Amino acid sequence: MELQNAKRIFDDAIRNKYGVGAFNFVNLETLKSILESAEENKSPVIVQCSTGAIKYAGVDTLVAMCKSYAEKMTVPVCLNLDHGATFEDCKKCIDAGFTNVMIDASHLPYEENIEVTKRVVEYAHSKGVTVEAEIGVLAGVEDEVSATEDQAKYTDPKQAYEFVKATGVDSLAIAIGTSHGTVKFKGEAKLRFDILEEVEKLLPFFPIVLHGASSIPQDMVKLAEEYGATLSGSCGIPEEMLREACSHNVCKVNVDSDLRLSFTAGIRKSLAENPSNVDMRKYNLEGMKLIKQVVKHKMDNVFGSSNRVM
């Protein structure tokens, strides 16, 4: 199957009230693990790269890997640019073969965000590519994206409505209390479902995206720490909150930190238990097994996307 843009995936998800995982990858091992799990669980899937991942591996290499795997699959696969900061970032990925791009101009003044986003939408749509944008600012640090708690701000639902109508975007990331990184909260987790519900009323049947939505599974934290990792204070979004979000119009749920954590835990364990091993394929496999385990759990028990493709 060829790589898909997000429209078909989101249309089914919003109609049937489930979420689709958007999983970040940086190399063959993470990509292969995500896609194998999607195929085995009969789930649509979005795989995505940040600009940092593109600098690390090269845009053409990442696209070629995705196309090579996707053409052998029976479930829809969308390749997304995560947090493109400029029109040029997005154009580069569209021209290379990405099928969805996110333009994140949320740090700019509102009118400039509209202007940049409209330009990306016009170019992307002319190439059959769908576009995600963002209103509001998430706290936390992940790859090349960062904001302090003081800089973070919730999405204004009326502004979100106006933004979608002004730009023609295909999906919108909103800020309701999720956060980038492995330490998402100080104290009790709280998501502003009142904001989500108001956006849903103003934009019925419109795809909403949650960034910074890793749950930071504590079994993976414990395993990584057992073999030397320092992850003090790591905590994520409670899974019951993510399930509730997916029962609304949240069609795309971003997951990055959970995969980094599980892959690292597997490799640490393998190297500690097999100190003479210098075959990276063997220790990478241990990390890949844990990524697949985490992705399957998300699809089965959190997003509800398993067995949606028959």
189: number of Cβ within 10 Å: 15
Overall size of the chain counted in residues:
310
137: number of Cβ within 10 Å: 17
Mean pLDDT of the chain: 92
- Spacing of C-alpha 67 from chain mean position: 19
- Predicted local confidence at residue 310, as pLDDT: 83
Prediction pTM value: 0.93
Rounded alpha-carbon distances, angstroms, from residue 202 to 6, 162, 199, 258, 275? 21, 10, 5, 32, 57
pLDDT in tens, 253-289: 999 999 999 999 999 999 999 999 999 999 999 999 9
What is the rounded distance in angstroms from the CA atom of residue 199 to the CA atom of residue 192? 11
Q: How far apart are the first and last CA of the chain?
A: 14
Cβ partners under 8 Å of residue 207, min gap 6: 6, 10, 13, 14, 170, 171, 172, 249, 251, 252
Answer yes or no: are the C-beta atoms of 101 and 121 closer than 8 Å: no
Cβ partners under 8 Å of residue 288, min gap 6: 29, 30, 32, 33, 263, 266
Edge-to-edge strands, sheet with 179-180: 145-147, 139-142, 179-180
Higher pLDDT, 62 or 213: 62
pLDDT in tens, 19-58: 999 999 999 999 999 999 999 999 999 999 999 999 999 9
Whether residue 184 is predicted with pLDDT greater than 70 in this model: the reply is no
Tokens of 142: 């992940």
Whether residue 111 is predicted with pLDDT greater than 60 in this model: the reply is yes
- Predicted local confidence at residue 181, as pLDDT: 55
Degrees to nearest 5, angle at CA 306 with 53 and 223:
55
- Predicted local confidence at residue 177, as pLDDT: 85
Is 156 tagged catalytic? no
Q: Which of 11, 12, 60, 82 is catalytic?
A: 82
State the pLDDT confidence band at 147, using cuts at 50, 70 and 90.
very low
